[in-house]
């Protein structure tokens, strides 16, 4: 059974102002903690649309890893979904939604994931790591759009 992580953040900009930032896959490097040494390996330009695949390199607890995501839904400026097709998880499905709210946008992330080690790995390591990554991301987004 997969695990779920949810994160929401209100930003004082419209979806039409925020979504283009997410349309640039290379911006993910800016939103990822430096400790992960995250790098987009697919050469530019990357035209974001359903079906596009993007390769990344990163380090998880010092271990080098490759990751490939496929965009499975692309609905600008309101929603997109990326799914891991190669990487450390058995399942990684990440839905990003951009909901107009109070003159700004509620940016919402819902991640369904599963990995080797199941609930024990989640409790001891994975959930904490993911919360830290999303906390860092929220700080960066507040700096950029706040």
Query: Could you tell me the pTM of the whole model?
Result: 0.96
Beta strands (DSSP E) in 33-120 are 39-40, 53-60, 63-75, 79-86, 91-101, 104-114
Burial environment of residue 35 by CB neighbours within 10 A (0 to 12, 13 to 18, 19 or more): middle
Report the CATH number at residue 135: 3.30.530.20
What is the tally of structural domains in the chain? Answer: 1
Output the tens digit of pLDDT for each of the chain's 146 residues: 899 999 999 999 999 999 999 999 999 999 999 999 999 999 999 999 999 999 999 999 999 999 999 999 999 999 999 999 999 999 999 999 999 999 999 999 999 999 999 999 999 999 999 999 999 999 999 999 99
For residue 42, what is the DSSP state? Answer: S
Domain of 21, in residue numbers: 3-145
Q: What angle do CA 87, 99, 111 make, to 5 degrees?
A: 20
3-class secondary structure, 134: helix
């Amino acid at each position: 059974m997969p695990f779920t992580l949810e994160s929401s953040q209100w930003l004082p900009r419209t979806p039409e102002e925020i979504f283009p930032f997410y349309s640039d896959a290379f911006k993910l490097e800016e939103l990822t903690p430096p400790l992960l040494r995250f790098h987009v390996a697919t050469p530019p330009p990357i035209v974001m649309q359903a079906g596009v695949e993007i390769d990344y390199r990163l380090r998880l607890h010092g271990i080098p890893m490759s990751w490939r995501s496929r965009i499975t839904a692309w609905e600008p400026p309101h929603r997109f979904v990326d799914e891991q097709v190669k990487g450390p998880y058995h399942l990684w499905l990440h839905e990003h939604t951009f909901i107009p709210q109070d003159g700004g946008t509620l940016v919402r992330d819902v991640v369904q994931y599963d990995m080797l080690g199941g609930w024990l790995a989640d409790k001891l390591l994975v959930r904490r790591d993911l919360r830290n990554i999303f906390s860092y991301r929220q700080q960066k987004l507040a700096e950029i759009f706040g």
